[in-house]
Structure 1
């Protein structure tokens, strides 16, 4: 699905991924394991070669975002990119389940770590807040995970928030309190406020509907509500 010139969304379940045309193709996240062929087919359908992928940027370590990174790296030669804090999780060196805020999220993280070990992959480029990959600026937004990042395309006026925004909005609307999958609710709140300070029209999350106009304003409307409504769901 073409969003604007040079930006495409590949619909996967449960998390979609994005392709951004830059000097090299940039793939943002990779979905759960099993979608490698579908991603490659989409790239060919665009008239591009999978070898055109220069960077595979992972917004955080959850399996619905890193699931095909290892295979895609092998096939395309693209470099895997993530925040430096997130790298040990993506490489399988850090015990992710220790960051679960609730007992059942710790269990799910443990199961994911054990079942999907073959998905772990080396991170070639380790980012810090403000670093750039092509025209995409990395914004460190801890909370959902320790090393979560959002990506800002200032030239196109697009924010790719990863999972920092969509789950939060869904849980607030359902009045179920903060995202149970998030590592730290207070930090997530501050990261939400951080995203609200940038200017962008389009908000392109992985797991929910896209916002095609006044994206920054859309985020700002929820900042006060989110930070005021935090509820411990343990």
Structure 2
């Protein structure tokens, strides 16, 4: 099974950047998109042979997730059951016979860390939800945190900045300790590989980036992972898509 996760930074915007051809080139069984910023699904997307599940934010032009799948799920559910998060369209859960596939867009702690408490609250409730499930999980999305110093080009400059605070990083370590695996780090141990770059200062060109997008799987699925990668050359967003192949 081939999965792609990608923060597209606006579905309408990326549609004009060859998005349909990019999707076709992925040849993925399941596609998970974050920050779609719309509740309108273009007809071109609907004609690609995927079932499409959308969880838009109530606020227009903000947040939202979308999952496209060729593999029909047993069930589909949306959100964590709390309005303060679910109004922002952050989680889509597809249930399959052997596991859950979860598309998630974690909150950004915000400028001046004004949403750090909100994010940490979301993290705790997401953790509670996922650990309550009775099957293993494949969790893909924008976690909005660079876990280790090797996951960010300039760690010293970004201490206590949103996405690299001790609290966010500690939570991610804690989450993995509950029985989850960062699949990319199964294959790539060194730094210098990122999934997000600022649009400013030619950051992508200079590879001054952050690795904040992850495919995380339950320990029991670890041996079934064939490949995990960042598709750094695929353009269209300030994020790169990430890939997971699993048996």
- Higher RCO (C-alpha 8 Å, min separation 6): 2
- When the two structures are superposed, what TM-score results if normalisation uses the length of structure 2? 0.38
Query: Is the strand fraction higher in 1 or 2?
Result: 2
TM-score in terms of structure 1 length: 0.39
